[in-house]
Structure 1
Amino acid sequence: MYAIVDVETTGGKFNEEGITEVAIYRFDGHEVVDQFASLINPEQPIQPFVIKLTGISNAMLERAPKFYEVAKRIIEILDGTILVAHNANFDHRMLRLEFERLGYEFDMQTLCTVELAQQLMPEQESYSLGKLVRSLGIPITDRHRATGDALATVKLFKLLLNKDTSKDILNKSLKSFPKPKVAPNLKTFLEKVPTSTGLYYLYNEGDDLIFIGRSRNIKKNLTQQFTSERRRSVELTALVHDVKFEKTGSDLIAMLKENVEIKKHRPKFNKKSKKSIFSHGLYVYEDEKGYLNFQIKSARKDSGYVTSFSSSRSGRSFLDSMLKEYELCQKKSGQETEGGDSCYLYVKQECKGACINEESATAYNERAQKLIEDHNFQNANRILIDRGREVSERSVVLIENGTVKGYGYVDLQIQFTDPKILRNIITEIPEDPDYRHIVQSYLRHRKIHRIIKF
């Protein structure tokens, strides 16, 4: 019995992704005997390029079930089967990752239709799913969606089964993924680290700090580090002589602290920090008719941006979504330069007609100004309040005049809305535009407990 599987994910850092959609077809070698498909709320944002690739947006997943809510059904339909997928290593890794987050081990034998096709049909020009099935006359709909890709893989696998008449290639292609073992000397370190959010520090025999890591689950991340087969990870793990950690509670503070300390200590195995971790910004200017226009451009030589981005693509994706949210014009934002006088959003009745002068500059600029106010930290004064290291405290990040001053922790019973008090409590950090970028980027994608303006 086989289970043909396809998953779509958020994209992002390796082993920190989340599943956004899953489709599973239980296949007896002749026909589908059971099936399950669902969108899944990954509880983290989808990368902009993935949204464009799959068409799955963050809004679509807000009311979708979380993985733990469908885990039992997935186990039921996979029970007693061999997992089959196009690039099976990826689908198996993602399912294992999600089950490990729930505290369960996951291991199945797999068959990869890419590898099977390469052996049984070596004459093919391409083995990507779309090109391969089209060359074989297999219809495929909803490309890069779990159901469409999984159904095409069912038909492809059925064809491959028929080609492998002796089943020799099939049997030789079976793979297992036994859980990697941690070296005995490293198990001691894993026993002492928590499953909390925070940072971990790896030292060599000479007590030199060689790596700083950040995770929402320190133990899980460190386990992955110690069991990874990547060359650089193996090299790093071999040098580890001591491990220390620090709980932060807040992932935002972990990000800030990680960046501060990597710049300060420059550990050997951390990537060499660039001059800046962001490259582009959202800029605003007034055109000859008095309308406020937005533009994504390089922020390397100009600091007058509303908010910053790690790439031009992420900036354009943000601006796309903001134009819809604030009912602004694509023509006034460089997002549409061709076509007629009106923009595409006007045709969809999501733009009020600034592009063809149907809406006055005054009315239009009110919404444009609201976008700026909601996302601009240039001269902002904010107290960001979020979870602490323990249930009895909150974390705080203090921002004054657009500069991230520092972070700290306060007891729930203490009045922590007074900036004067916070200045004495926080751990100050150097003035650096990168830290404002970290905060702005975090707030675009994540929710925190409370924001106080002063």
Structure 2
Amino acid sequence: MAFEPFFHFVKGLQSRLNNSGSSGTYYGQSQQQMAYLRSLEKDKKQREALYVPLNQLEAVVFDIETSGFFPEKGDEMLSLGAVKVCGGVIQKEQLFYSLVHYEKPLSPEIASLTNLSGSQLKDAPPLGEVLSKFLNFVQGSTLVAHHANHEKSFLQSASRRIFRAPFKHRIVDTSFLYRIAEPKLNMVRLDEFCEHHDIPIINRHHALGDAILTAKLWTIYIEMVQRLGCKTLHDVYERVARL
């Protein structure tokens, strides 16, 4: 997003805020929108990340648990977990995890898979609050997820619904790396990749647990693609485009 359009958009939203009176609901929602829009100012840093050496790249590897697979059909986020990685080193003390408020009954399959309960989710913070805190945790880091289409679709849906804006952060799919490093692999599931690389599978189908497992895969593949000549994300994207 160019600076000038962004500036005018924020000015317009600020004007609506100032004229909104004392409506607590509108004010709270607009404050969340402003927090989200401020995060878009980091878009320049996102673009610059394409040329940062992979061994210095600051990434946030994340995962979400959801009530189903289709946000357009009403499925929602239940939890979000993330861990920071710098280059090939997992920052074990820099973690994010939150449940997300959810009122509907969980299907038996999802409850069994995630070990989440309806009572836990009813007491959890609302999605807007969770996403605002998550974006504050991310700052300008590059987002990473395993087979990221699932995460992208839910974040896009939530951003449009809550913040009235598209989700602008780049999300790098781990498949970009393993398609370069191990092009003959015929695997999809996180479990399979962990077993392939002798990574102990702990806290599977827990958002933070899966984020940590994905971070371990990310560090392995970062090293592998560097040995194959990919020094930056830009190199990775160019190589994938040629596959």
Q: Same fold (TM over 0.5)?
A: yes
Aligned 8 A contact 1:126 1:132 in 2: yes
Separation in structure 2 between the aligned mates of residue 161 and residue 18 of structure 1, nearest angstrom? 31
Which residue identity does 2:182 align to in structure 1?
M
Separation in structure 2 between the aligned mates of residue 43 and residue 68 of structure 1, nearest angstrom? 15
Describe the superposition over 1:312-343 as per-residue Cα deviations: whole angstroms up to 9, x where unpaired: xxxxxxxxxxxxxxxxxxxxxxxxxxxxxxxx
Separation in structure 2 between the aligned mates of residue 158 and residue 101 of structure 1, nearest angstrom? 34
Q: Secondary structure at the match of 1:164?
A: helix
1:57 equivalent in alignment to 2:117: yes
Trace 1:276-291 onto structure 2 (pairs within 5 A): none
Q: 1:45 aligns with which of 95, 105, 128?
A: 105
Structure 1 residues 14, 69: closer, same or farther in 2, change over 3 A? Answer: closer
Separation in structure 2 between the aligned mates of residue 44 and residue 65 of structure 1, nearest angstrom? 15
CA RMSD of aligned residues (A): 2.3
| CA deviation after TM superposition for structure 1 residue 125, in Å | 4.2
Structure 1 residues 104, 75: closer, same or farther in 2, change over 3 A? Answer: farther
Aligned to 2:160: 100
Separation in structure 2 between the aligned mates of residue 163 and residue 34 of structure 1, nearest angstrom? 24
Describe the superposition over 1:2-60 as per-residue Cα deviations: whole angstroms up to 9, x where unpaired: 11010000116442221101001122212326221011113433333222222223232
1:31 equivalent in alignment to 2:90: yes
Trace 1:46-125 onto structure 2 (pairs within 5 A): 46-105=106-165, 106-125=167-186
Q: 2:197 aligns with which of 125, 136, 152?
A: 136
Aligned 8 A contact 1:113 1:157 in 2: yes
Q: 1:167 aligns with which of 205, 211, 230?
A: 230
Separation in structure 1 between the aligned mates of residue 164 and residue 236 of structure 2, nearest angstrom? 26
Aligned to 2:75: 17
Separation in structure 2 between the aligned mates of residue 170 and residue 14 of structure 1, nearest angstrom? 29
Separation in structure 2 between the aligned mates of residue 172 and residue 58 of structure 1, nearest angstrom? 45
Structure 1 residues 21, 174: closer, same or farther in 2, change over 3 A? Answer: farther
Higher helix share: 2
Structure 1 residues 96, 8: closer, same or farther in 2, change over 3 A? Answer: same
Structure-1-length-normalised TM-score: 0.36
Aligned to 1:284: none
Aligned to 1:400: none
Trace 1:230-379 onto structure 2 (pairs within 5 A): none
1:157 equivalent in alignment to 2:214: no
Separation in structure 1 between the aligned mates of residue 141 and residue 230 of structure 2, nearest angstrom? 17
Structure 2, unaligned stretches of length 5 or more? 1-57, 239-243
Q: Secondary structure at the match of 1:31?
A: strand
Structure-2-length-normalised TM-score: 0.65
Structure 1 residues 2, 70: closer, same or farther in 2, change over 3 A? Answer: same
Q: Structure 1 vs Structure 2: percent identity of aligned residues?
A: 26
Separation in structure 1 between the aligned mates of residue 196 and residue 188 of structure 2, nearest angstrom? 10
Structure 1 residues 173, 132: closer, same or farther in 2, change over 3 A? Answer: same
Separation in structure 2 between the aligned mates of residue 84 and residue 126 of structure 1, nearest angstrom? 18
1:4 equivalent in alignment to 2:61: yes
Aligned 8 A contact 1:88 1:112 in 2: yes
| CA deviation after TM superposition for structure 1 residue 85, in Å | 0.3
| CA deviation after TM superposition for structure 1 residue 162, in Å | 0.5
Aligned 8 A contact 2:71 2:154 in 1: no
Structure 1 residues 42, 98: closer, same or farther in 2, change over 3 A? Answer: farther
Structure 1, unaligned stretches of length 5 or more? 176-454
Describe the superposition over 1:191-246 as per-residue Cα deviations: whole angstroms up to 9, x where unpaired: xxxxxxxxxxxxxxxxxxxxxxxxxxxxxxxxxxxxxxxxxxxxxxxxxxxxxxxx
Aligned 8 A contact 1:11 1:46 in 2: no
Structure 1 residues 12, 132: closer, same or farther in 2, change over 3 A? Answer: closer
Q: Which has the higher contact order (CA 8 A, sep 6+)?
A: 2
Separation in structure 2 between the aligned mates of residue 89 and residue 142 of structure 1, nearest angstrom? 22
Aligned 8 A contact 1:12 1:47 in 2: no
Describe the superposition over 1:54-97 as per-residue Cα deviations: whole angstroms up to 9, x where unpaired: 22232321211111222321111122111100011211221222
Task: Name which one, 1 or 2, has greater alpha-carbon Rg.
Answer: 1
Aligned residue pair count:
175
Separation in structure 1 between the aligned mates of residue 104 and residue 158 of structure 2, nearest angstrom? 13
Separation in structure 1 between the aligned mates of residue 108 and residue 234 of structure 2, nearest angstrom? 39
